[in-house]
């Protein structure tokens, strides 16, 4: 493995550390290391401190791989194809329809870098639709269209970061502004180490809050043992974990299964997100949620089953 001296790194603009690659592709550090070991790609170089360094071509190929995985391809089937072949696979897909006009208008403001009008358009959509519809229609739609454009290189990384920051701030404020403290169930929301994506968690929290549930939000990357200890401390009825498509399905299912073994049987375990969208089944006692409708059905079912408590 080639080692690059610090002085050489300074003269080469196209090397990225693993944290930068994780941030810009949405692929976790663990996923990158597993692919390196299992498939021989990526093949990072090393700096003087033995830290991984990825080239710009590596980064571009990883973005394409992430996009194709989101489309349903398995990493092992496509990872050894060239960047040109991966690009052709994406181009060969049946083009999706354009975003609905109301979403296209918001996306245009983002691409015009008109921050104030972009934020105001989001706030107006929230006021018009209410929190529940805003999350399930506007935010879910924007996540899809902006995410696809970003991974395909049609939206700059800084645009995607600005979008994420504004959505997170708006959702947090909207959740806080909801009247009342919520009733049952009491749902602990978090993700496991390696899963940094916050928007999915905030969307779930917003839906549950709008439906009158009580949420205990721990943020992202909570170790399983800390989740176990938090359950009795916060008198939790349900633990809900989010897994984006940057996490492998196998890792997501394994984490849910491990957590299930550590919690009392009366505490339900729910899992959702892109990593589990195509999962056929989970460990006994784990409920997979593939849509916001599934989330709302699970909430109603819990209330019916626990009506006498």
- Which residue ranges form the domains of the chain, and what is each CATH number? 3-91 (1.10.1660.10), 101-174 (1.10.1240.10), 181-305 (3.40.50.280)
CB atoms within 10 A of CB 2: 8
Burial environment of residue 267 by CB neighbours within 10 A (0 to 12, 13 to 18, 19 or more): buried
Residue 12 has pLDDT above 50, yes or no: no
Q: Are 217 and 201 in contact (CB under 8 A)?
A: yes
- 219-248, pLDDT tens digit by residue? 999 999 999 999 999 999 999 999 887 777
pLDDT tier at 10, thresholds 50, 70, 90:
very low
pLDDT tier at 286, thresholds 50, 70, 90:
very high
Q: What's the helix, strand, coil split of the chain in %, to 5?
A: 55, 15, 30
Q: Which one has a higher pLDDT value, 4 or 39?
A: 39
Quick one: DSSP state of residue 3?
A: E
Residue 188's beta-bridge partner residues?
Answer: 216, 239
Distance CA 5, CA 270 (A): 47
pLDDT attached to residue 24:
77
Helix (H, G, I), strand (E, B) or coil at 15: strand
Distance CA 240, CA 269 (A): 6
Structure tokens at 238: 């349900």
What are the CA-CA distances from residue 277 to residues 136, 250, 289, 297 (Å)? 16, 12, 8, 17
ω into 44 cis (within 30 of 0): no
pLDDT attached to residue 153:
67
pLDDT attached to residue 92:
73
Residue 103 has pLDDT above 90, yes or no: yes
The mean predicted confidence, pLDDT, of the chain is: 86
Quick one: DSSP state of residue 166?
A: H
CB atoms within 10 A of CB 47: 17
pLDDT tier at 93, thresholds 50, 70, 90:
low
Which three-class secondary structure string do you get for 254-265? HHHHHHHHHCCC
Q: Comparing C-alpha atoms, which of 64, 125, 118 is closest to residue 91? A: 64
CA quadruple 286, 77, 36, 88: dihedral sign: negative
Helix (H, G, I), strand (E, B) or coil at 163: helix
Among the listed ranges 34-48, 79-93, 141-155, 288-302, which one has the minimum average pLDDT value? 141-155
pLDDT attached to residue 63:
84
Q: Which one has a higher pLDDT value, 201 or 15?
A: 201
Helix (H, G, I), strand (E, B) or coil at 235: coil
pTM over 0.95: no
pLDDT tier at 271, thresholds 50, 70, 90:
very high
- 179-194, pLDDT tens digit by residue? 766 678 999 999 998 8
pLDDT attached to residue 96:
60
């Amino acid at each position: 493995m080639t080692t690059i001296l610090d002085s050489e790194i300074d003269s080469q603009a196209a090397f990225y550390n693993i944290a930068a690659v994780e941030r810009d592709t949405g692929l976790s550090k663990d996923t990158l290391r597993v692919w390196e070991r299992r498939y021989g790609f990526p093949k990072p170089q090393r700096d003087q401190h033995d830290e991984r360094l990825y080239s710009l071509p590596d980064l571009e190929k990883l973005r394409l791989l992430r996009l194709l995985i989101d489309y349903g391809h398995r990493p092992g089937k496509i990872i050894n194809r060239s960047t040109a072949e991966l690009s052709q696979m994406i181009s060969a897909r049946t083009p999706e329809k354009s975003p609905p006009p109301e979403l296209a208008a918001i996306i245009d403001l983002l691409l015009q870098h008109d921050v104030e009008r972009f934020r105001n358009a989001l706030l107006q959509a929230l006021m018009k639709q209410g929190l529940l519809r805003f999350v399930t229609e506007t935010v879910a739609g924007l996540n899809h269209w902006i995410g696809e454009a970003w991974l395909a290189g049609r939206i700059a990384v800084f645009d995607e970061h600005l979008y994420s920051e504004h959505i997170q701030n708006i959702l947090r404020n909207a959740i806080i502004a909801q009247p009342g403290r919520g009733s049952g169930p009491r749902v602990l929301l978090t993700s496991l180490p390696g899963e940094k994506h916050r928007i999915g968690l905030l969307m779930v929290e917003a839906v549950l809050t709008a439906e009158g549930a009580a949420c205990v939000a721990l943020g992202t990357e909570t170790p399983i043992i800390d989740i176990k200890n938090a359950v009795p401390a916060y008198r939790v009825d349900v633990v809900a974990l989010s897994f984006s498509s940057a996490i492998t399905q196998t890792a997501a299912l394994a984490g849910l299964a491990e957590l299930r073994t550590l919690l009392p049987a009366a505490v339900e375990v729910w899992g959702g997100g892109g990593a589990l969208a195509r999962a056929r089944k989970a460990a006994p006692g784990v409920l997979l949620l593939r849509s916001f409708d599934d989330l709302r059905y699970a909430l109603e079912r819990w209330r019916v089953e626990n009506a006498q408590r």
